[in-house]
Chain A
């Protein structure tokens, strides 16, 4: 199959360059997401994600930044799913780590797989109706941001720390290491070392997404990606597309083999415009030079679902949505579920949070952690405060600044400092002054509230252990929390010297009320 002489003209030759550029751009933005730089533009990739924007707009969150998503949503009319082939970092990695050639699953399996995007969209729609954004766990941009935030940056943190430790052994280098450390602290290197919950699960999810491509080439992009499905839906109405000169086409099938997206149909003549990503591998391999990008492509969509099939899918999705939401009772009772300051009320939060972990990346103290099942299945990967990992920094409101969907409101610093997200409760059985009679004072020392939410009371208290049995004496300073002053920032819980569960712990106080919209 001799290649023509003047093949490979046009922008598609530089597809790999585009992908590398956007990957670097993505990581530049994400790396710059640290205190106090945070601006919404750090989340540009998420804002340009039509699925995420659609879900937000349906939930009544309209912000002009979502206009970024409009060109992306309309692009399949003109350039196919170029977003998938040229921009999407997830698509790039799927391609990079996937097989180079077609894997040829059985025809039957392939038929089922080709139906998946339509079903996926129906499920997404049903979940939106049920007020759950849990499908965004699988949104490629959200998935990639989350994986990068929770896996790459902790690794970078560890690596830089280790490199610094090693270089520090050579005395002449210490000055250099110190100045680099000074520059990176709170940006790429953190005093406690970044750790996220569920890192292994996130890794498995990410690797799994890439690995399915070994069953079928780019299986994720072709059949599973919900954003790809949405863009494909628009792509069905494509105005421009892959046009084949049927007079010269010999139906040799080279393009069918070459297409990484399984978009070439009827031995080369027609195109599945819901999959074509305008990579034009088909044109590159065509020995007759009969393929080009042009007006009114001949379309053939593998699967045009009947109304009946869609109804079935919708019914299934509704049942699924119902099942997913049966976890709500649990949230109602779970007072350990403390959301970042400025978070919407629980039901709204579940409906709008993009699960992108952008807030976790921006948090300078690592207090924001992905929820496992504390918020129910529907709250998987939503941000939750873990006050043993960190505390809400008094001078920081980054999480709201970078949240692409306003699931966490962007509160001005003064307002954030007044935002009550929980309340600290002292466990008298483990608190050192209350149970052992020694002064401790740490929780009071670190409380940032100007009116002092933690004060000391001296003197006998009825429920304290008697002094002669090792309990507090009349002089012991016993910490107490003043309920209406505490904002639940968790400085006390973080710094409490009692190991494992601290003797002072923050519980959510608004959880039960906030369940009503």
Chain B
């Protein structure tokens, strides 16, 4: 090795130290920038969400009145049938087709329920056929990119693989995304009652279309886990403490995150021992698929499927109180059909 004098030694050490110190600083600055970007972009997507789907009763009906040939779009489309993927297709078709939600070249994020690695027949995770059909429909509508993501409680690769969603997504041409720290940013929730800010998946805010695809199942702690509870999967950080005042916190989250399309998979339902299940004795087969844009309405319908009074489910009650949607199924325009 070449001899080095003290001066050169100090200089080179200094250089390396500077590089070592600058790299994390630079990365921190850039993250901050990206974060502020996402905060700005948030409002836009928020508006888009309300325009496209949120205020369904006003804008869409107005659009409908100009084109009298097509029947009015129902608030909920419920399809019963033997095949989960055909059910989804029929339900989305009733809502005006996937083209209504996915513009050409759109970036789509699909959020199924992948709690842990369980085969589809245990009704713990969203049916892979449903996820696959949604990914296909998005591409048929011209989507540029469809990402399927969730934050499972067990090791992500095993969870996605065991529940069949990896295969279904990849066959349909979509991509699975395993979340790491860089996918989360701590995002403020304005007007929150219990959850002021939390690390959330940035992809959801960057996407043009966000599709929530819960499964309808029992949850020993929360009563039922439906579409609002399914959004817990986009939360990062230590999720343990979220479980106190859960309904309020989920409602806070739903004021910020508004999926353009919600598809409730009730082909198989877990009727007890949820959310982890694992026994076929706990599974029933209503063979339903519910699609809509109003999470509270979807959850209310999920309650009906499970034989619950919607207002007894804390998330529905809280969502209705906060004006996030309508839980009143009797006044709702619901299409019920079969394949």
Q: Which residues of A contact B (CB under 8 A)?
A: 35-36, 161, 164-166, 168-169, 175, 178-179, 181-182, 185-187, 189, 191, 364-365, 391, 393-396, 432, 438-442, 444-452, 455-456, 477, 491, 495-498
Give A187 to B176 CA distance when docked, in angstroms.
Answer: 15
Bound: A406/B187 CA distance, A? 49
For residue B2, CB closer than 8 A to chain A, the reply is no
Tell me whether A439 and B240 are in contact in the complex, defined as CB-CB below 8 angstroms, given that A394-B116, A451-B279 are known contacts.
no
With the chains together, A98 CA to B155 CA distance in Å? 41
A255 to chain B: closest CB distance in Å?
A: 30
Knowing A169-B30, A441-B222 are in contact, say whether A450-B155 is a contact too (CB < 8 A). Answer: no
Q: Is B7 an interface residue (CB 8 A)?
A: no
Does B238 make an interface contact (CB < 8 A)?
A: yes
Separation of A168 and B31 alpha carbons in the complex (Å): 9
A-contact bits for B174-200, CB 8 A (1 contact / 0 none): 011111111000000000000000000
The docked-state distance in angstroms from the alpha carbon of A495 to that of B221 is 15
Using A161-B180, A391-B154, A491-B153 as known contacts, say yes or no to A439 and B246 having CB atoms under 8 A apart: yes
Is B219's CB under 8 angstroms from A189's CB? no
B276 touches A455 (CB 8 A): no
Which residues of A sit under 8 angstroms from B157, Cβ to Cβ? 35, 185-187, 364
Contact B117 A166 (CB under 8 A): no
Residue contact A448 to B276, C-beta cutoff 8 Å: yes
State in angstroms the CA–CA spacing of A178 and B174 once bound together.
Answer: 13
Residues of A contacting B23 in the complex (Cβ-Cβ under 8 angstroms): 166
CA separation between A393 and B180, bound complex, in Å?
Answer: 19
> B62 → chain A, closest Cβ, in Å?
37
| Chain B residues packing against A (C-beta within 8 Å) | 23, 26-27, 30-31, 34, 115-117, 145, 153-158, 161-162, 175-182, 219-222, 238-241, 243-246, 273, 275-279
Q: Are B30's CB and A444's CB within 8 A?
A: no
| Additional A-B contact list (14), CB under 8 Å, known A191-B156, A394-B154, A444-B220 | A35-B155, A35-B157, A36-B161, A164-B180, A166-B27, A175-B145, A181-B178, A395-B117, A439-B244, A439-B246, A441-B246, A446-B276, A495-B240, A497-B243
Contact of B240 among A166, A394, A442 (CB under 8 A): A442
Kindly list the 8 A-B residue pairs having the minimum CB-CB distance in the complex, ordered from nearest. A497-B240, A441-B221, A450-B278, A186-B157, A450-B279, A185-B178, A438-B244, A169-B30
Establish whether residues B155 and A497, one from each chain, have CB atoms under 8 Å apart when the complex forms. Answer: no
Whether the Cβ atoms of B153 and A452 lie closer than 8 Å is no
A388 to B26, CA, bound (A): 32
Contact indicator A446/B244 (Cβ below 8 Å): no
Decide if A452 touches B273 in the complex (CB within 8 Å).
yes
Docked pose: A491 CA to B276 CA in angstroms: 12
User: A445 near B221 (CB under 8 angstroms)?
Assistant: yes
B276/A186 in contact, CB under 8 A:
no
B155 touches A455 (CB 8 A): no
Q: Are B219 and A445 in contact (CB under 8 A)?
A: yes
Q: Tell me the bound Cα distance from A396 to B154 in angstroms.
A: 11
> Which of B154, B246, B278, B279 lies at the interface centre, i.e. has the most chain A CB atoms within 10 A of its CB?
B154
Alpha-carbon gap, A71 to B23, bound state (A): 51
Contact of B182 (CB < 8 Å), options: A165, A444, A447, A450: A165
Complex CA gap A448/B274 in Å reads 10
Which residues of chain A have C-beta atoms less than 8 A from B279's C-beta? 450-451
Complex: how many Å from CA A364 to CA B116? 14
Some 18 contacts from A to B, beta carbons below 8 A apart, are: A35-B158, A36-B161, A164-B180, A165-B27, A169-B27, A178-B175, A182-B175, A182-B176, A185-B180, A191-B179, A364-B155, A364-B158, A393-B155, A396-B155, A442-B239, A445-B153, A445-B276, A452-B273
Set of chain A residues within 8 Å of B31, measured between Cβ atoms: 169
Contacts of A477 in B (CB 8 A): 220-221
Q: Tell me how far the C-beta of B112 lies from the nearest C-beta in chain A, rounded to whole angstroms.
A: 16
The listed residue with most B CB atoms (<10 A of its CB), out of A394, A451, A456, is: A394
Q: Among the listed B27, B178, B221, which residue makes an inter-chain contact with A439, where contact means beta carbons less than 8 Å apart? A: B221
The one of B30, B145, B158, B182 that contacts A393, using a Cβ cutoff of 8 Å = B158
CB contacts (< 8 Å) of B273 on chain A: these are 450-452
- Are A178 and B155 touching (Cβ within 8 A)? no
Q: How far is the CA of A477 from the CA of B221 in the complex (A)?
A: 7
B78 to chain A, nearest CB (A): 28
Given A164-B180, A495-B240, A448 contacting B278 (CB threshold 8 A): yes
Query: In the complex the two chains form, is B178's CB within 8 Å of A393's CB?
Result: no
Query: B153 contacts which chain A residues (CB < 8 A)?
Result: 445-446, 491, 495
Closest to A502 in B: B240
Complex Cα distance A161/B179, Å?
A: 12
B216 to chain A, nearest CB (A): 17
Contact A393 B220 (CB under 8 A): no
* Contact partners of A451 in chain B: CB under 8 A: 273, 279
With A161-B180, A445-B276 as contacts: A497 and B238 at CB distance below 8 Å:
yes
Residues of A within 8 A of B158 (CB): 35-36, 186, 364, 393, 395-396
A358 vs B315: C-alpha distance in the bound complex, in angstroms? 46
In the complex the two chains form, is A186's CB within 8 Å of B155's CB? yes
B116 touches which of A181, A187, A448 (Cβ 8 Å): A448
**Contact between chains at A394 and B117 (CB < 8 Å):** yes
The CA-CA distance from A496 to B239 in the complex, in Å, is 10
Residues of A close to B27: CB separation below 8 A? 165-166, 169
Instruction: Tell me the smallest distance from the CB of B249 to a CB of chain A, in Å.
Output: 12
B8 to chain A, nearest CB (A): 25
Q: Is the CB of B278 within 8 A of A445?
A: no
A364 vs B162: C-alpha distance in the bound complex, in angstroms? 14
Q: Give the distance to chain A from B194, nearest Cβ to Cβ, in Å.
A: 12
CB-CB nearest in chain A for B221 = A441
Find chain A residues with CB under 8 A from B34 CB.
Answer: 169
User: In the complex the two chains form, is A447's CB within 8 Å of B276's CB?
Assistant: yes
The residue in B27, B220, B222 that gathers the most chain A C-beta atoms within 10 A of its C-beta is B220
A118 to B305, CA, bound (A): 76
Residues on B with beta carbons closer than 8 Å to the beta carbon of A175: 145
Contact in complex: A444, B240 (CB < 8 Å): no
Q: Report Cα–Cα, A438/B247, bound state, in Å.
A: 13
CA distance A35 to B34 in the complex (A): 34
User: Which single residue of chain A is at the shortest CB-CB distance from B162?
Assistant: A395
Across-interface contacts of B182 in A (CB, < 8 A):
164-165, 168
Taking a contact as CB atoms under 8 Å apart, the answer to whether B116 and A455 are in contact is no
Q: How far is the CA of A108 from the CA of B27 in the complex (A)?
A: 58
Query: Chain A residue with minimal CB distance to B33?
Result: A169
* B220 adjacent to A455 (CB under 8 Å): yes
Indicate if the CB atoms of B175 and A441 lie closer than 8 Å.
no
Question: B220–A456 contact, CB under 8 A?
Answer: yes
Cα distance, A186 to B179, chains bound together (Å): 12
Known pairs A364-B157, A393-B154, A496-B240; A450 contacts B180 (CB<8 A):
no
**A189, B176: Cα distance in complex, Å:** 15
A450 touching B277, Cβ below 8 Å: yes
* Docked complex Cα distance between A394 and B125 (Å): 15
Of the candidates B145, B155, B221, B240, the one whose C-beta lies within 8 Å of that of A191 is B155
Q: Tell me which residues across on chain B come within 8 A of A394, comparing CB atoms.
A: 116-117, 154
A contact residues around B219 at 8 Å (CB): 445
| Least CB separation from B31: chain A residue | A169
Closest to A169 in B: B30
B residues near A393, Cβ cutoff 8 Å = 117, 154-155, 158
* Cβ of B106 to closest chain A Cβ, rounded Å: 15
Give A495 to B242 CA distance when docked, in angstroms.
12
A123→B241 CA distance, assembly (Å):
53
A182 touches B177 (CB 8 A): yes
CA gap between A446 and B221 in the complex, in Å: 11
Partner of B241, one of A181, A187, A455, A497: A497
Q: Find the B residue at minimum CB distance from A187.
A: B157
Most chain-B CB neighbours within 10 Å: which of A189, A393, A395, A438?
Answer: A395
